[in-house]
């Protein structure tokens, strides 16, 4: 699985968790990157290891203090039935999408990524958008609630 697709699947799971259960899936904020939303610690891990293999990155993160890949908090609570079912559904729905399709969906016009980038006066087609720009969970939640409501119609 590519870095790009993994980032987008994680963002989608986070967004749907906020919309359906009003709780974040992740314990860190989503940031706006050049190709859509991203999770900074996962981005750093993947950039450091230059890996695109899912098995190599789940459960690890980069430790800036000693320049090693170390265990991190991507562990899923096996007793949390909601999270387990959510992740299974995310995989079922979005697994067939290419990384580009995932990326296009996650930063399309009107998305939380687009709203943040536009509010900062950035050109949404520019590769100069840097990480560090947080996308508020409240914005992500409202967007996914709207997506949920429109899918029910």
What tens digit of pLDDT does each residue of 44-91 get? 777 766 544 444 444 433 344 444 333 344 556 678 889 889 989 999
- Between CA 39 and CA 131 the distance in angstroms is 9
Would 153 be classed as within a structural domain? Answer: no
Burial class (CB in 10 A: 0-12, 13-18, 19+), 147: middle
95-137 pLDDT, tens per residue?
999 999 999 999 899 999 999 988 887 666 555 455 568 999 9
Spell out the alpha helix ranges (H) of 22-136. Answer: 40-49, 54-57, 81-94, 99-106, 112-119
Determine, yes or no, domain membership for 152.
no
> Does residue 70 lie within any of the structural domains?
yes
Full residue range of the structural domain in which residue 140 is found: 3-147
Residue at 86 is within a domain: yes
The domain total for the chain is 1
Inter-CA distances, 79 with 65, 76, 115, Å: 33, 9, 35
Tokens of 35: 């190709």
Inside any domain, residue 58: yes
């Amino acid at each position: 699985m590519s870095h790009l697709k993994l980032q987008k699947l994680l963002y989608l799971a986070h967004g749907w968790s906020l919309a359906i259960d009003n709780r974040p899936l992740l314990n860190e904020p989503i940031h706006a990157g050049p190709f859509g939303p991203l999770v900074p610690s996962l981005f750093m891990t993947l950039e450091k290891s230059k890996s695109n293999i899912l098995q190599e990155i789940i459960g690890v993160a980069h430790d800036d203090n000693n320049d090693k890949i170390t265990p991190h908090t991507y562990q899923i609570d096996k007793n949390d039935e909601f999270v387990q079912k959510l992740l299974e559904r995310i995989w079922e729905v979005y697994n067939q999408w290419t990384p580009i399709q995932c990326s296009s969906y996650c930063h399309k016009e009107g998305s939380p990524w687009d709203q943040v980038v536009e509010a900062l006066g950035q050109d949404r087609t520019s590769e100069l958008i840097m990480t560090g720009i947080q996308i508020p969970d409240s914005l992500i939640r409202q967007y996914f609630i709207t997506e949920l409501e429109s899918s029910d119609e």
